[in-house]
């Protein structure tokens, strides 16, 4: 039998801590240790875990596989977990209970599995373990730390809305470094001078490119079927404003990627925008922005660049 190829798919690595609400079981691990944690998971094996921060995003992303050819899905989600296979059983049973089409998993007893991302062609790894995410990003891998509380997803709405910051997420943080050293005026002068020079791509540019390929598949379906309703929407939400917006737009064009909407906010609180935009996930490299957005929006910290180089202790969690 031929090997199952991942090359032409959008592959997401998802830690159980991002997919499910593990607050209760992680408290057992922190307070009572690994053996009590193992016993707790065995005792609650048939208790379905509650959805976590990234659950709506993953569920909606996987639903887009209805655009796929049979046995050839556009999207794969693979569990990457610090649990061992025994304690991971509850996660897999919960996945089955929610009828999520996730059948593949990597369980690494007490060790982070992010090193397997390149082998599995992953465009993104999401986890609630900040230490694992920082290590992955430091190795040049696209990863994000999920923030905020799980929320009730409106299942009557089948859209998927994804929002990105620009600097340090889709692009590198080169211009952010100019801002940190030269202030807002130095930053604007630098961006105007280099308006025609595309930024180097940042950690999530390839993820956006994969999302765009699914959007192209949606457009093909809409052209064949006038009743088809576009479900996948992408927005750029950045603290840039004119005249620094131009370089961001030109960079996206030069990379061959697109967004549906763009918000150039010039320092306006992103949290207020998120309340209206209601994305199912928002990616930003700055914790100060996410402190606001994560109150109402599933938010992801991408710890990329100079501003995120401070050491982060390893979380005492199983994921």
Residues assigned a catalytic role: 165
Q: How far is CA 194 from the centre of its chain?
A: 29
Q: What angle do CA 65, 14, 289 make, to 5 degrees?
A: 105
Residue 175 CB partners (closer than 8 Å, separation 6+)? 167, 187, 190, 191, 199, 244, 247
Is residue 182 within 8 Å of residue 190, measured between CB atoms?
yes
CA distances from 204 to 8, 155, 165, 211, 251 (A): 17, 27, 10, 11, 14
How many CB atoms are closer than 10 A to CB 196? 9
The answer to whether 131 touches 312, Cβ cutoff 8 Å, is yes
Closest of 61, 74, 72, 156 to residue 100, by C-alpha: 61
Q: Contact 160/194 with Cβ under 8 angstroms? A: no
Closest listed residue to residue 79, CA positions, set 132, 28, 125: 125
Tell me if 194 sits within 8 A of 247, measured CB to CB: yes
Helix or strand holding residue 233 (H, E): strand 232-238
Q: How many CB atoms lie within 10 A of CB 227?
A: 5
């Amino acid at each position: 039998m031929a090997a199952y190829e991942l090359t032409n798919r959008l592959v997401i690595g998802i830690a159980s801590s991002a997919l499910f609400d593990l607050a209760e079981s992680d408290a057992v691990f922190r307070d009572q240790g690994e053996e009590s944690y193992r016993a707790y998971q065995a005792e609650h094996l048939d208790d379905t875990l509650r959805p976590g921060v990234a659950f709506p995003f993953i569920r909606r992303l996987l639903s887009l596989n209805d655009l796929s050819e049979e046995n050839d899905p556009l999207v794969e989600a693979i569990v990457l977990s610090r649990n061992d296979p025994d304690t991971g059983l509850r996660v897999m049973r919960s996945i089955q209970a929610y009828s999520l089409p996730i059948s593949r998993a990597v369980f690494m007893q007490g060790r982070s599995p992010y090193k397997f991302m390149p082998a599995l062609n992953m465009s993104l790894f999401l986890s609630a373990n900040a230490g694992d995410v920082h290590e992955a990003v430091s190795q040049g891998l696209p990863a994000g730390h999920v923030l905020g509380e799980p929320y009730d997803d409106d299942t009557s709405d089948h859209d998927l809305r994804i929002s990105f910051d620009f600097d340090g997420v889709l692009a590198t943080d080169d211009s952010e470094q100019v801002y940190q050293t030269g202030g807002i005026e130095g930053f604007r002068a630098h961006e105007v001078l280099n308006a025609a020079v595309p930024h180097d791509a940042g950690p999530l540019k390839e993820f956006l490119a994969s999302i765009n390929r699914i959007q192209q598949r949606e457009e093909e379906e809409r052209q064949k079927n006038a009743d088809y309703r576009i479900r996948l929407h992408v927005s750029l939400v950045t603290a840039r404003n004119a005249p620094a917006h131009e370089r961001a737009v030109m960079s996206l064009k030069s990379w061959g990627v697109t967004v549906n909407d763009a918000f150039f906010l010039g320092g306006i609180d992103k949290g207020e925008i998120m309340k209206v935009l209601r994305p199912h996930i928002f990616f930003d490299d700055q914790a100060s922005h996410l402190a606001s957005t994560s109150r109402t929006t599933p938010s992801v910290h991408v710890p990329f660049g100079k501003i995120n180089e401070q050491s982060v202790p390893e979380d005492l969690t199983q994921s």
